Amino acid sequence: MSIHYNEQKKLFKLDAAGVSYIFKIYQDGFLAHLYYGAYIPDDNLPDFERRPVYASFSAQPDTVEPYSFSPDTCPMEIGCNGGADMRIASVQIRNADGNAVTEMRYVSHKIYAGKPGLPGLPALYANTREECETLELTMRDAVTGAECVLLYTVFEKHPAITRSMIIRNASSKTMEIERAMSFSMDMNRCDYDLITLYGRHVQEREFERRPLGHGTQGVGSRRGSSSHAQNPFMALISRGGGEDFGEAYGFNLVYSCNFKAEVEVDYNNSARVIMGINYDDFGWKLAPGEAFYTPEAVLVYSNEGLGGMSRAFHRLYNDNLVRGEWKHKKRPLLVNNWEGTGMEFDDDKLYAIAKWAKETGIEMFVMDDGWFGRRDDDTSSLGDWYVNETKLKGGVGSLVRRVKALGLKFGIWYEPEMISPDSDLYRAHPDWAIHVPNRANSVGRQQYVIDMSRQDVRDYLFERISDVLGHNDIDYLKWDFNRNITEAGSALLPANRQKEFYHRFILGTYELMDRITTAYPHLLMEGCSGGGGRYDPGMLYYSPQIWCSDNTDALSRVDIQFGSSLCYPASVQGAHVSASSRASYETKRNVAMWGSFGYELDPAKISEEARAEIKAQIADYHKYYDLIHYGDLYRLISPWEDPYNCAWEFVDEEKTQALATYLIKFKKERRGLFLRLKGLDPAKYYRWEETGEVFSGALLMNAGISLFCMPNEDGYSKTFYFKEV
Ligand code: GLA
């Protein structure tokens, strides 16, 4: 890992583990991008001068040698709006004269050990100063005085580079940022396929692959959250590449609100990638001396296909994103009452679930929605975060004490960013709901969204949540967000700053999450948004796990888990066994073990056999915990390759054990009869626990294990555990 600047060639070379990223200061201070991909030795660098530098109809600044260079045809490190670079811009700033021409030239740079934080924003962090190195490069627009500081951090142990940008107003006049993407990067070729993760509620993160075409393509969100509809993730894989081979570039934005991720292929067959805050309906006034920080983007490279890219993301996020006490601590096996009881419960009913949980070997009871205000259904009470003493006699405290006396941990549900029209809070503060003047609010799930950009709102929420967390021994908080934002506006922002609203909203949410995790460092937070509607690295900075989906039917849930695994590790994925009927308890367990495992049911509503089966499952959860949470994932058969069968495998870092799971989603008369494992040491020998047979890693990976005697039934699944002899 290192960042070098070659003064003579004016060239920057950034090396992360196995990766090089190279650019140079070119004519007139423009930054020309040279290369990003597998590591290239320092003594043998790409030859920048032997590339097309000029094309007809591509303009050039009057300061450069005629016909020598155009920012339109040259791969650039930043895409500026309005000048000679006609491609999709990453920076657009409207100046006091009313135009939005922005042209950035190199001014200075510094290179230092470690990684800076981004004020008010989640970001990856360095555990030690030595494991990261950072380049801060300042550019300036000579006409307007706007400055862009490009931030790059490389990682010693990971093939990863993080990028973000600071925009500073070094002039004496206010300007307005119209576009501030976290990065822009021009690739010298375009023979890639674009992979994105689309979805909806109960069907999140479906895999989609399409060839790059000329023009602009991409995904985004305008929903006020990263959203179910598109994840802030994008990958480019070389044509013909797949799970195990090909060049894969992964891009993931550490942000939980409106985003845009786009690729433009131009007439030179080069591809510009940009990612950041969605520029639709975005604006930010920047007064003289002020700075604006973009969210951070994570760039991961692998020449071992999508599998290599995913494993790199997983290790990086486990090491450098998830924080706090629960980063390494074993997460408690939980039962949540939501699917079992909905909001129809009282303290005795919840206590009965907790009692069963204790007898079964479960470690934490989580009380979901319905414990506050007059909340018996979704028509009321969000915002009235006062306990409903008709349901919980003696308050939250009494139930917490009873559950704790059993020896269980206790968790609670909140949806802080919401306000019900039918709530005391809304009646007292109608202005606290997000709204615009003279226009009725749309409702979603019978609720409005609260204005998190307001300090008074955040103070109220902190005080209400603290009243419960501060007086009771609570271990876990599920933070939900159950609708998207419409009629976006804040009563406190002046008319000419309303475009700042969405970003201010999420900054407010981050601030409250930060206050809570700082005040209660032992608390385990689980993010949620109608399942996985805000399943992004921004949320993972505060909540080390996120409820993956409200879909707990193992046979469709597995697709969601495969999609999520493109960049999110198993450790962050909330995954529960519910009473859903399509699959056996064994299959439900096998699927839910791929994550932070738990149960989501009312034991009184399931059979005695089911209860006995659950009891028998607990030991395996403990046995495989480390392997699944910290091991390497191999997607053996993915749903996007085979709609009938799927299989996945975890291998520990030392390659001493492996757990493979095979699942028949839909029976097909002819199926593959051997399952080939991956990631083992071919020279090692492994014992199959079930039969005691010993196989070499070479045999398991090349010939595979026979599935011949397995039943061929819809929903059948089986795990295979191998340990080195
Ligand atoms: C969302 C969550 C569920 C549950 C309900 C409660 O849908 O995803 O797990 O908490 O809200 O209203």
Would the CB of 527 count as within 6 Å of ligand 1? no
Q: Is 340 in the pocket of ligand 1 (CB under 6 A)?
A: no
Atom nearest to 338 CA in ligand 1: 4
**Ligand 1: which of 367, 381, 550 to mutate, judged by most atoms within 8 Å of the beta carbon?**
550
Q: What is the mean pLDDT of the segment spanning 653-682?
A: 93
**CA-nearest residue, atom 1 of ligand 1:** 530
Rg of the chain on CA atoms, in Å = 26
What spacing in Å lies between the alpha carbon of 338 and ligand 1's midpoint?
A: 7
CA distance 717 to 659: 13
High-pLDDT (> 90) share of the chain, %: 93
Measured in angstroms, how far is the CA atom of residue 591 from the centroid of ligand 1?
Answer: 20
Q: Quick check: CB of 451 below 6 Å from ligand 1?
A: no
480 Cβ below 6 A of ligand 1: yes
Using the mean position of ligand 1's atoms as its centre, give its distance from the Cα of residue 365 in Å.
Answer: 16
Shortest-distance Cα residue to atom 7 of ligand 1: 530
Provide the token pair at 523: 């608390």
pLDDT in tens, 328-366: 899 999 999 999 999 999 999 999 999 999 999 999 999
**15, 384, 475, 480: the active-site residue:** 480
* Distance separating alpha carbons of residues 326 and 331, to the nearest angstrom: 7
Give the model's confidence band at 64: pLDDT under 50 very low, under 70 low, under 90 confident, else very high. Answer: confident
**pLDDT tens track for 303-330:** 999 999 999 999 999 999 999 999 989 9
Measure the CA–CA gap between 488 and 475, rounded to whole angstroms. Answer: 34
**Ligand 1 center–CA 252 separation, angstroms:** 26
Confidence of residue 53 (pLDDT cuts 50, 70, 90): low
Q: What mean pLDDT do residues 111-115 have? A: 98
Check residue 50 and give its pLDDT: 59
8 Å CB contact between 293 and 164: yes
Structure tokens, 357: 């949980």
- pLDDT per residue as tens digits for the range 399-411: 999 999 999 999 9
Over residues 523-548, mean pLDDT: 98
Ligand 1 atom at minimum distance from 550 CA: 8
CA of 581 to the centre of ligand 1 (A): 19
Assess whether the C-beta atom of 550 lies below 6 angstroms from ligand 1: yes
> CA dist 232 to 198, 296, 453, 562, 725, Å?
10, 12, 22, 16, 43
CA distance 544 to 596: 10
CA torsion sign, 531 to 532 to 533 to 538? positive
Say yes or no: CB of residue 131 within 6 Å of ligand 1: no
User: Positive or negative, the Cα torsion across 362, 368, 370, 373?
Assistant: positive
Q: Do residues 32 and 24 touch, judged by C-beta distance below 8 A?
A: yes
Q: For 403-431, what is the mean pLDDT?
A: 98
Residue with the smallest CA separation from ligand 1 atom 3 is 530
Atom of ligand 1 nearest to the CA of 368: 10
Which helix (H) or strand (E) segment holds residue 287: the answer is none
Q: Could you give phi then psi for residue 76, rounded to 5 degrees?
A: -115, 160
Question: What DSSP assignment string belongs to 210-279?
Answer: EE--SEEEEEE--SSSS-SSB-SEEEEEETT--SSSB-EEEEEEE-SSSEEEEEEE-TTS-EEEEEEE--
Active site residue 480: yes
**Residue 679 neighbours by CB distance under 10 Å:** 19
204 lines ligand 1 (CB under 6 A): no
Q: What is the pLDDT of residue 49?
A: 66
Percent of the chain at pLDDT > 70 equals 99
Among 366, 528, 552, 599, the mutation site with the greatest number of ligand 1 atoms within 8 A of its Cβ is 528
* 109 SS3 class: strand
The per-residue pLDDT for 65 is 82
Within a 10 A sphere around the Cβ of 559, how many other Cβ atoms?
Answer: 23
Pair of tokens at residue 456: 């008074």
Which ligand 1 atom is the nearest neighbour of the CA of 413?
A: 10
Does the beta carbon of 369 sit less than 6 angstroms from any atom of ligand 1?
A: yes
> What's the whole-number mean pLDDT along residues 232-257?
98
- Which pLDDT belongs to residue 223? 98
Q: Is 176 in the pocket of ligand 1 (CB under 6 A)?
A: no
The answer, yes or no, to whether any atom of ligand 1 lies below 6 A from the CB of 535, is no
338 touches ligand 1 (CB under 6 Å): yes
Measure 388 CA to ligand 1 centroid, in angstroms: 18
Q: Is pLDDT at 434 greater than 60 in this prediction?
A: yes
Report the separation in Å between the CA atom of 368 and the middle of ligand 1, taken as the mean of its atom positions.
8
Q: Would you put residue 394 in left (φ > 0), alpha (ψ -120 to 50) or beta?
A: left
| Per-residue DSSP letter, 312 | H
The answer, yes or no, to whether any atom of ligand 1 lies below 6 A from the CB of 368, is yes
Arithmetic mean of pLDDT over the chain: 96
Residue closest via CA to ligand 1's atom 12 equals 369
Query: Is the distance from the beta carbon of residue 650 to the nearest atom of ligand 1 less than 6 Å?
Result: no
367 alpha carbon – ligand 1 mean position (Å): 11
From ligand 1's centre to the CA of 121, what distance in Å? 26
Query: Which residue, chain included where needed, has tokens 């990453």?
Result: 90
Whether residue 530 has its Cβ less than 6 Å from ligand 1 = yes
Distance 528 CA to ligand 1 centre (A): 8
- 531 Cβ inside 6 Å of ligand 1: yes
Joined tokens for residue 297: 């983007």
Rounded CA separation 9/25 (Å): 8
Residue with CA at minimum distance from ligand 1 atom 4? 338
Atom of ligand 1 nearest to the CA of 531: 8
Output the residue whose Cα is nearest ligand 1's atom 11.
Answer: 530
Residue 221 corresponds to which amino acid?
S
Ligand 1 atom having least distance to the Cα of 378: 12
Q: Output the CA 445–ligand 1 centroid distance in Å.
A: 11
How many angstroms is it from 474 CA to the middle of ligand 1? 19
Q: Which of 58-72, 470-484, 710-724 has the lowest mean pLDDT?
A: 58-72
Q: Count the helices and strands in the chain (H runs, E runs).
A: 12, 38
482, 548, 549: which to mutate for ligand 1, most atoms within 8 A of CB? 482
559 part of the active site: no
| Ligand 1 site, residue 538, Cβ cutoff 6 A | no
pLDDT band at 522 (very low <50, low <70, confident <90, very high): very high
Question: Per-residue b/e over 283-301, b at no fewer than 16 CB within 10 Å?
Answer: bbbbeeeeebbbbbbbbbb
pLDDT of 190 reads 96
Compute, in angstroms, the gap from residue 646 CA to the centroid of ligand 1: 28
547 CB within 6 A, ligand 1: yes
- pLDDT tens profile 156-191: 999 999 999 999 999 999 999 999 999 999 998 999
Question: 85, 193, 347, 550: which is the annotated catalytic residue?
Answer: 550
Counting from 1 in the atom list of ligand 1, the atom nearest the Cα of 529 is: 8
User: Residue 413: CB within 6 Å of ligand 1?
Assistant: yes
pLDDT at 664 over 60: yes
Is the CB of 30 within 6 Å of ligand 1? no
Check pLDDT > 80 for residue 636: yes
Question: Residue 709 corresponds to which tokens in the numbers above?
Answer: 């005697």
